[in-house]
Structure 1
Amino acid sequence: MASPSTARVEARGHGLIGSLRIGARVAALLIALLVMLPLHFMCRVLHVPVWMPRHFLGIVAWIAGARVQKIGKPLRRDVVFISNHVSWIDIPAIAGATGSAFVSKSELRDAPVVGWLSTLNHTLFVERDDRMGVAEQIARLRDALAELWSVTIFPEGTTTDGFDLLPFKGALLAVLDPPPPGVMVQPVFLDYCAAPDVAWVREELGLGNALRIFARAGSFPLTIRFLEPFDPATLGGRKAVAAEARARISAAMA
């Protein structure tokens, strides 16, 4: 985790105007949080549906500069969204559009700010190298599917530059082998026109990526394309599910 001094150094690296944009966007996030938190706790006290995380995360994506457009109709419940992965903005953008919970790599949990934002919508962090804990992770994901309406998985296992699609890792789709009864799979293509400016790739730290995006001038379009859903039970295993989802996202990218 980066120290406060590191954060100040990285912010200064964006110049005066960039630093002012970072400050303005951080201030906007704090204001949104101060407005949303009392409403969130009020909903919990009154035992009414808690809607704050979804809308707050959508606001986070908007403040960061994403102007989200949805194409296609997302399923509302009993669905696993399988998506390509470009940036931490993927999580607040999809959450704002669907209310989905997430499965993400454990490294994201420790990223300053970004990790905390990811926990707001029931992100399940998986240890990619923890072979002994796979059964427990699958059990947690099945419980999440039973309790929540939708879960999003990024089966590439890491972020990309937005133009390439890495092989999908079948191990991350183990919850669909066999799939819970009635659960559908809906592939999702995140189409960033400004992918090189927002992609979180190589050795860049999460904080550095967030500051770089916050320092950008203006906004950028993000089209979330919800593709045709399919029944994973008809495909015979997680590798086939991964191949089918990847083929549909690849076709959408083309």
Structure 2
Amino acid sequence: MGRLRASFLLTGFILSALLLMPVQAVALKFGLPLAKRLPNRYHRFLCKLVGIRVVTRGEPYAGGACLIAANHTSWLDIPVMASLQPSSFVAKSEVAGWPFFGTLARLQETVFVERERRTRTAESRNAIHSRIAAGDRLVLFPEGTSSDGNRVLPFKSALMSVAQLTIVNGDEDREDDLVVQPVSVAYVKLHGLPMGRQFRPFFAWYGDMELFPHLWEAFSLGPIDVVVEYHKPVTIREIGNRKALALYCEEACRRGVSRALVGRWDAEEEAGRIEPSRPADVSMPRAATQ
């Protein structure tokens, strides 16, 4: 049954993607609103097809565009998060060259960055900023890699420097601080039962795992439950600097993953929590001109 299920799901995934890719390409070329809506609807369909039940906690930032800082466990993070809100992602530049998946990433307007070349950090930061300034919701995985799903790795702060730039609000003739919202993603149940450490690596994609064999393994096992928690959104003015911002997002995601894995959530405790203290003086660069 596992092989039959994997065959059906993998075929459905590939055929549905191939069917919609030309539609998305045309929508992007002509700047149609469908280019934002179609990936969101496709990922909802994909989650239903695969059997991913997404449970949300907390509230997504509703004040406009923002940068999402999330922990990274699996390729499943993409359909899970994109099914909840229209989103694009920040990914390492190598992804652009992947067969099939690189095309999917480009069609979802992924921002590709060279994480290993610090000389390109400012260029990557400006690319992320211009997309957010244009109204996009971007998802950044500050760990820089994926984990085994049982823990959250340290968040890197380099690309968090985008939060030092402001967003020009043309309607009200003012500059707003760029908002960053931590979001934790945890894979918690398999067939409705607690997943446990022994099964979570079947869905986590990390290390030297090959993608297609991992897809086959995950598709063969059965439906899963994922908990996505939206944590308190902040600005760098509240936090202090990019390193403190990275630490705040890391700790928020670590708490969220830990709570999800043990099945506990305290909404009141999370609502007002901002832990890193703000230094006395914080300079805020102006937004880059477009």
CA distance in 2, matches of 1:197, 1:242: 28
Higher helix fraction: Structure 1 or Structure 2?
A: 1
SS in 2 for 1:158: coil
CA distance in 1, matches of 2:255, 2:124: 31
SS in 2 for 1:62: helix
User: Alignment partner for residue 179 of structure 2, among 161, 168, 184?
Assistant: 184
The reply to whether residue 65 of structure 1 matches residue 51 of structure 2 is yes
Q: Is the 8 A contact 1:113 1:207 kept in 2?
A: no
CA distance in 2, matches of 1:46, 1:232: 32
- The change in CA–CA distance for 1:234 and 1:176 in structure 2 (over 3 A counts) is same
CA RMSD after TM alignment: 2.5
CA distance in 1, matches of 2:151, 2:116: 24
User: Alignment partner for residue 238 of structure 1, among 242, 251, 260?
Assistant: 242
Residue-pair matches, total: 237
Shift of 1:183: 2.1
Identity rate, percent: 29
- The change in CA–CA distance for 1:107 and 1:175 in structure 2 (over 3 A counts) is same
Q: Is the 8 A contact 2:69 2:183 kept in 1?
A: yes
Shift of 1:153: 0.7
Q: Is the 8 A contact 2:163 2:235 kept in 1?
A: no
Q: Is the 8 A contact 2:21 2:104 kept in 1?
A: no
Shift of 1:124: 1.2
The reply to whether residue 211 of structure 1 matches residue 195 of structure 2 is no
In the alignment, which residue of structure 1 is the partner of 2:133?
146
**TM-score, normalised by the number of residues in structure 1:** 0.82
In the alignment, which residue of structure 1 is the partner of 2:206?
201
Structure 1 stretches lacking a partner, 5+ long: 1-16
In the alignment, which residue of structure 2 is the partner of 1:155?
142
In the alignment, which residue of structure 2 is the partner of 1:27?
11
In the alignment, which residue of structure 1 is the partner of 2:265?
none
**TM-score, normalised by the number of residues in structure 2:** 0.73
Which amino acid in 2 is paired with 1:206? L
SS in 2 for 1:156: coil
